[in-house]
Amino acid sequence: MKLRFACLVALILIVSPLVLRSGTHDYGIANNDLDGPNTATIGEYLDGALMHVSTVRTGGHGSGVGNNSNTASNRVVIVPNGSAQCAFLSDAGTSDIAAFTLSGSHIVRVGNYSNTNFEGGNAIALAAHGSVLFAGYYGSANIGSWAIQSDCSLVLLNLTSLMHFATVNGMGVTPDGQILIVSYGNSSIDSFSIGTAGSLIEHGPYTSVHGDSTIQGLDITAESKAVIFASIDNDTKLDIWEYGIQTDGSLGSYTDYAELTPNVDYCVYPRLSPNEQFIYVSCGVDAHEHNVVTLSFDRSSGTIAYVSTTNLSPQYNAFTSAGQLATISPNGNGDGLYVTLTNPTMSSVALLTINADGTTVETPNSPFFITKYGGPGLSSIAAWPPRPF
């Protein structure tokens, strides 16, 4: 009888809507990317801690590839959708996208969406604007354009083959919704004009500035004027590249901010603060230290300069990689950061507070979600409410 009751409780937890509090509460939603039935973990930022709210099934399987492999790919995005919001998480193991509704105090899975032309492989990178979700498929080297319906379900609009058969690392849509920008695993970058029904017109690809660097994550300014890339470099220095975005959808001239700070390596993901005064970058791989670097950003001139480096807690073995980060608040300098750290046996989310000058401090009980909730592939997290751009 006890066994039947336990099974019933487990079933209710899986199929029932998850209750979240709305209002001014700040949440982080992580894709655990498990090798097997995948899950999403939801945490609430409260009194300097990341409190576990719940872990829910995505309905598909993750890749389980968390260490040193596509850790800059957006595997979870949140999209405003009328009075509600939609959350999309990629399941690379089953090559599908899990769709959820976020409305008031409820999160509910709508369904899982796939197509035989798409293969997830190690990762499916996601980016969205308005009513279109773009998915870059690592295994099949193509991009799918999906229409977001009013109930957060998805309908396939278009498929774009990458003729150079490059695998997608990072991907983002300009806030004006006109251009999709992509970084590839072969050290090149690309841009696409977005046409009707999510169709894509390619302008690149563009060759990497440095042959020994691999472009990882990217972020785009609120006015859709510039894109910022982080790169893995072999000289243990932080390299940031800033490209101008042209009105025709192509990428223009660039500034290479090479060797901004010493003693950091494998810098994978840049994130602009909501007020665009700072850029936060996650760095670190294997036995190297894991860091968050703060850079200042001048919106008018586009100039980038070094501010500070925060070394994260030394709680990880020689196979750990830094993944994505997200600002906790959608306002000001972001108030704090969620930073994903992943390795083959455990993953977690480091939590940092942000001072007025952009410097960061890891909270006393960080990191959170070690092993119990986060899977070995956890490398992607999104903040809810999301940043405005």
Q: What pTM was estimated for this model as a whole?
A: 0.89
What pLDDT, on the 0 to 100 scale, is given for residue 231?
78
pLDDT of residue 87: 95
Residue 368 pLDDT = 86
Q: Read off the pLDDT of residues 294-332 as tens digits, 9 standing for 90 and up.
A: 999 998 888 999 999 998 887 655 557 788 899 999 999
State the alpha helices, DSSP H only, in the chain.
2-15
pLDDT exceeding 70 applies to what percent of the chain?
Answer: 82
**Rounded-to-integer distance, Cα 181 and Cα 179, Å:** 6
CA dihedral 171, 70, 322, 183 (to 10 degrees): -30
Q: Is the peptide bond before 386 cis (omega within 30 degrees of 0)?
A: no
What residues have CB less than 8 Å from 202, skipping those under 6 apart? 160, 190, 191, 192
Write down how long the chain is. Answer: 389
Give every CB contact of residue 10 below 8 A, 6+ residues apart in sequence: none
pLDDT in tens, 319-365: 577 888 999 999 999 999 999 888 767 778 999 999 999 999 999 98
pLDDT of residue 81 exceeding 90: no
Q: What is the pLDDT of residue 158?
A: 95
Question: 222: which DSSP letter?
Answer: T
Domains observed in the chain = 26-384 (2.130.10.10)
Report the pLDDT value the prediction gives residue 198, as an integer from 0 to 100. Answer: 94
Above pLDDT 90, what percent of the chain? 49
Q: Is the pLDDT of residue 163 over 60?
A: yes
The pLDDT confidence band at residue 68, using thresholds 50, 70 and 90, is very low
How sure is the predictor about 69, in pLDDT bands with cuts at 50, 70 and 90? low
**Residue from 81, 80, 78 nearest 89 by CA:** 78
Residues whose CB falls within 8 Å of the CB of residue 285, separated by 6 or more in sequence, listed in order:
68, 232, 265, 266, 320, 321, 322
Gap between the Cα atoms of 173 and 189, Å rounded? 14
Burial zone of 24 (CB within 10 Å; 0-12 exposed, 13-18 middle, 19+ buried): exposed
For residues 279 and 240, the answer to whether their CB atoms sit within 8 Å is yes
Res 33: pLDDT: 87
245-291 residue pLDDT tens: 999 999 998 888 877 776 777 788 999 999 999 999 998 776 567 88
Contacts of 311 (CB under 8 A, 6+ apart): 289, 290, 291
- Residue pointed to by tokens 């899975």: 109
With bands split at pLDDT 50, 70 and 90, how would you rate the model's confidence at 236? low
Residue 92 above 80 pLDDT? yes
Residue with tokens 């859709």: 224
Q: What is the pLDDT of residue 10?
A: 31
All residues at 6 or more sequence positions from 74 whose CB lies less than 8 Å from its CB, including other chains: 125, 126, 127, 170, 171, 172, 324, 380, 382
Residue 187 identity = S
Highest mean pLDDT of the ranges 25-29, 87-91, 296-300: 87-91
Residue 211 is predicted with a pLDDT of: 54
- What's the confidence (pLDDT) of residue 342? 80
Q: Which amino acid is at 225?
A: K
Helix, strand, coil content of the chain in percent (nearest 5): 5, 50, 45
Place of tokens 């992509």: 182
> Per-residue pLDDT tens for 196-218?
999 999 998 987 655 556 778 89
Is residue 136 a contact partner of residue 171, using CB atoms and an 8 Å limit?
yes
Other Cβ atoms less than 10 A from the Cβ of 154: the count is: 24
The 10 Å Cβ neighbour count of residue 37 is 15
Smallest CA-to-CA distance from 341 within 359, 365, 360, 325 is with 325
What are residue 234's DSSP bridge partners?
none
Hey, is 232 helix, strand or coil?
Answer: strand
Give the burial string for 69-107 (b: 16+ CB within 10 Å, else e): bbbbbbbbbbbebeeebbbbbbbbbbbbbbbbbbbeeeb
Torsions phi, psi for 11 (to 5 deg) = -65, -40
Kindly report which listed range (60-64, 206-210, 220-224, 294-298) carries the lowest average pLDDT score: 206-210
- Is the pLDDT at 182 greater than 90? The verdict is yes
**Which range among 13-27, 34-48, 94-108 has the greatest average pLDDT?**
34-48
Residue whose C-alpha is closest to residue 132's, from 158, 107, 113, 109: 158
pLDDT digits (tens, 9 = 90+) for 103-130: 655 678 999 999 999 998 878 999 999 9
